[in-house]
Amino acid sequence: MSSTQYMWKELCVQISELADATAAENEELIATKKKLEAELQQLKRTTTTGFGTHRMVSSASAAPGPDGPSLALCVVDGWRTSFAVRFVKQGEAGGRAAGQALLRALYTELELPPGISDAQLPVWTSVFLSSRALVAGLVKQETCSSDEIEGFVKGLVQSHKSLVLVDVASKKDVDEKMRAYMTTFSRLPQVKRVFFAGGFASPFASIARELPYDKLVFLRNKGSATPPAMDPKVPVLFLEDVFADMSLFDTTVNPTSPASPVTAPSPTPPLFSPGLFSGSMTRASGGRLGDDMLRSPMSVLSEDERPVPVIDTTLPLNKQVPPPCYLHYLLGKCSHGGICTYEHRYELTETQLKQLRQLAKKQPCAFAAKGQMCLFDEQCVYGHECPYGIARCRFLVEEKCRFTREMHK
């Protein structure tokens, strides 16, 4: 092979290698181009999504926080308190004036600006009452005409969009609905205050037990008597002639008048006697339940027809007329139901419940007195032994102690 042929052969080899390298580089460039195009599309999609997310985050940050704006609740026990007669006699105009007077007082207490937007609705007011009972009671008293009362209720509801009327059928319903409403919504973090307007016999004590102290505020009229069930630790906002001290249509309760002369039952309500479980109604002494007990003035009328009793603070609990039922208040249930001659509707404070528990322990357990096993064991509210003991009980010597000799330790 001549030198010329050798040079051509080498040149062909170099050209072939260059062609192979060029083809390989071209394939690599094509692959890189496709990869870059894919990354570009991904970048475009990411940029678009990120912009939308940024807008959503910006909108969310501009909105109120998860708790929302601060709110206050106002609950009016319309069964036991009412707006002043001067409002009711003005009809529809009086209803609007009453609602606005209440809201104005609440706004002042909460230090809200007078020009606050209605869209914020910082105070929601719920009035629990029976409009039918309101009309019937006031017309019977000849205080107002039915047209004036109906106009007042209409104007009250129209006074503000955040004021609502809850029509209830009975005092029992109003207590259950009020407490359920307040305990449920008072847990919300945006609710900062819960105002409660009640009458002399309203359930102040139970409401104070169920609601946080840092949110609850009682509403009372200036110069009105302090209900015995009102917890002194709860702050009170006194209003100027906005409410009547008691329900206008419930004339059966008067905190300033003495209690009606009803014969009080014996100071010891009978415990579940063995006869009750065998189907016969017996007294604690073993006698047949007579017609006099079935016809007692406290059992003939239904709970809603009877006047709501108020504790006379000048008398001990066992001298009230009628006395509070130990089983109802201390055990949480009374086996006698509607025929119980003891009272289930008092509003007792924690101090009064403690006093009642001490009084109950001074009454002998009916089971233990008969030498029988007590169904309630350690949960029994009554005494299983004389509080004075065998050494100090002078009644035992005279055989006048209500506890048996075996119950003296």
- pLDDT tens digit string along 95-110? 999 998 998 888 888 8
* pLDDT at position 292: 35
Q: What is the mean pLDDT of residues 378-407?
A: 84
| Token pair belonging to 52 | 């939308």
Task: Assess if residue 18 is contained within a domain.
Answer: no
Task: Assess if residue 64 is contained within a domain.
Answer: no
Structural domain containing residue 177: 71-244
CA pair distance 230, 206, nearest whole angstrom: 9
Most confident of 35-44, 113-122, 179-188: 179-188
In this predicted structure, the answer to whether residue 63 has a pLDDT above a threshold of 70 is no
First vs last C-alpha separation in the chain? 138
- How many domains does the chain fold into? 2
Most confident of 237-246, 270-279, 281-290, 298-307: 237-246
* pLDDT at position 195: 93
139 and 211 belong to one structural domain: yes
Question: CA geometry: angle at 248 spanning 242 and 249, to 5°?
Answer: 150
Task: Assess if residue 24 is contained within a domain.
Answer: no
Task: Assess if residue 261 is contained within a domain.
Answer: no
pLDDT in tens, 250-260: 444 343 444 33
CA pair distance 86, 105, nearest whole angstrom: 17
Task: Assess if residue 262 is contained within a domain.
Answer: no
* Among candidate residues 135, 128, 149, 253, the one with its CA nearest the CA of residue 197: 128
Task: Assess if residue 259 is contained within a domain.
Answer: no
pTM: 0.51
166 and 282 belong to one structural domain: no
Task: Assess if residue 29 is contained within a domain.
Answer: no
* pLDDT at position 74: 93
* Residue 40 identity: L
Task: Assess if residue 40 is contained within a domain.
Answer: no
CA pair distance 163, 97, nearest whole angstrom: 13
200 and 324 belong to one structural domain: no
CA pair distance 56, 35, nearest whole angstrom: 31
| Token pair belonging to 36 | 């870059």
Residues above pLDDT 90, as percent of the chain: 6
φ/ψ region of 74 (left if φ > 0, alpha if ψ in -120 to 50, else beta) reads beta
Instruction: Out of 244, 265, 299, pick the residue that ends a domain.
Output: 244
pLDDT-based confidence at residue 68 (cuts at 50, 70, 90):
low
Q: Which position has the higher pLDDT, 159 or 17?
A: 159
228 and 150 belong to one structural domain: yes
238 and 144 belong to one structural domain: yes
375 and 302 belong to one structural domain: yes
In this structure, the number of other CB atoms found within 10 A of the CB of residue 307 comes to 15
CA pair distance 137, 131, nearest whole angstrom: 10
207 and 307 belong to one structural domain: no
Q: Which position has the higher pLDDT, 203 or 163?
A: 163
76 and 174 belong to one structural domain: yes
* pLDDT at position 394: 82
* pLDDT at position 67: 53
92 and 202 belong to one structural domain: yes
Residues above pLDDT 70, as percent of the chain: 74
279 and 235 belong to one structural domain: no
